[in-house]
Amino acid sequence: MVNVLVVGLDNSGKTTIIERLKPRPKQSMEVAPTVGFNVEEVQKGALTFTVFDMSGAGRYRTLWEQYYREADAVIFVVDSGDKLRMVVARDEMEHMLAHPNLRKVPVVFFANKKDLPISLPPAEIAQALGLNDIQDRPWNIFPSNGLTGEGLDRGMDWLAERLG
Ligand code: GTP
Ligand code: MG
């Protein structure tokens, strides 16, 4: 059993992505903003992930760190079209990576909403978030579309390789 913490700003697409990772009959079509957090179980190949779907809303972000100690991996979701809040995402990300309870765990970044015409490519998001400065853990960034599920397998496979 692997614990995965899913974080990122509100409206980035965390819950949508988690729904898309479930088998089709179990997916809900409607997602609403998460209140607090939800726990889900997701099967990927040989691995069973316990997924903590955290709310990204400002007033709930302090909840994230309560789960760092249990986390084996982090999925950090970024809205590729939300240029205005890229700096807020960077702040939250840096704050998270600096936390002593979250040392060395691998981080997958999903550059989500890649379908939006105004979306930034992953390389530009990596630049904006300063990802190339991360040297104390494995990380990678993958473009994704939470609505279709495109790109999610690549990210989850990368993560599974680091956890297996
Ligand atoms: P909080 O729970 O508030 O932190 O938000 P969240 O990160 O869980 O976002 P959520 O999954 O609720 O998605 C927010 C909105 O973005 C919804 O309207 C989704 O349908 C939409 N959305 C999610 N992924 C994509 C995507 O890849 N492309 C587009 N165009 N919309 C997306
Ligand atoms: Mg949510």
Q: How many CB atoms lie within 10 A of CB 32?
A: 7
Q: Is the pLDDT of residue 81 over 90?
A: yes
Closest CA to 150 of 21, 4, 12: 21
Query: How does DSSP classify residue 30?
Result: -
Question: pLDDT-derived band of residue 6, with 50, 70 and 90 as boundaries?
Answer: very high
Q: How many CB atoms lie within 10 A of CB 26?
A: 11
Q: Provide mean pLDDT across the span 132-137.
A: 96
Q: Provide mean pLDDT across the span 51-74.
A: 97
The pLDDT value given to residue 1: 86
Helices 14-21 and 152-163: crossing angle, nearest 10°?
80
Helices 122-129 and 86-97: crossing angle, nearest 10°?
60
The ipTM assigned to this model is 0.99
How far does the centroid of ligand 1 lie from the alpha carbon of residue 11, in Å? 5
| pTM of the predicted protein model | 0.98
- Residues 21-27: contacts with CB under 8 Å, at least 24 apart: 21/51, 21/149, 21/152, 21/156
Q: Is the pLDDT of residue 164 over 80?
A: no
The pLDDT value given to residue 60: 97
Q: Ligand 1 atom 30: the closest Cα is on which residue?
A: 113
Say if residues 70 and 3 touch (Cβ distance below 8 Å).
Answer: yes
Q: Which residues line ligand 1 at a C-beta cut-off of 6 Å? A: 8, 10-16, 31, 33-34, 55-57, 77, 112-113, 115-116, 145-147
Substitution candidate for ligand 1 out of 5, 6, 10, 11 with most atoms within 8 A of CB: 11
Say if residues 57 and 33 touch (Cβ distance below 8 Å).
Answer: yes
Say if residues 78 and 8 touch (Cβ distance below 8 Å).
Answer: yes
Closest-approaching ligand to the CA atom of 10: 1
Substitution candidate for ligand 1 out of 10, 12, 16, 148 with most atoms within 8 A of CB: 16
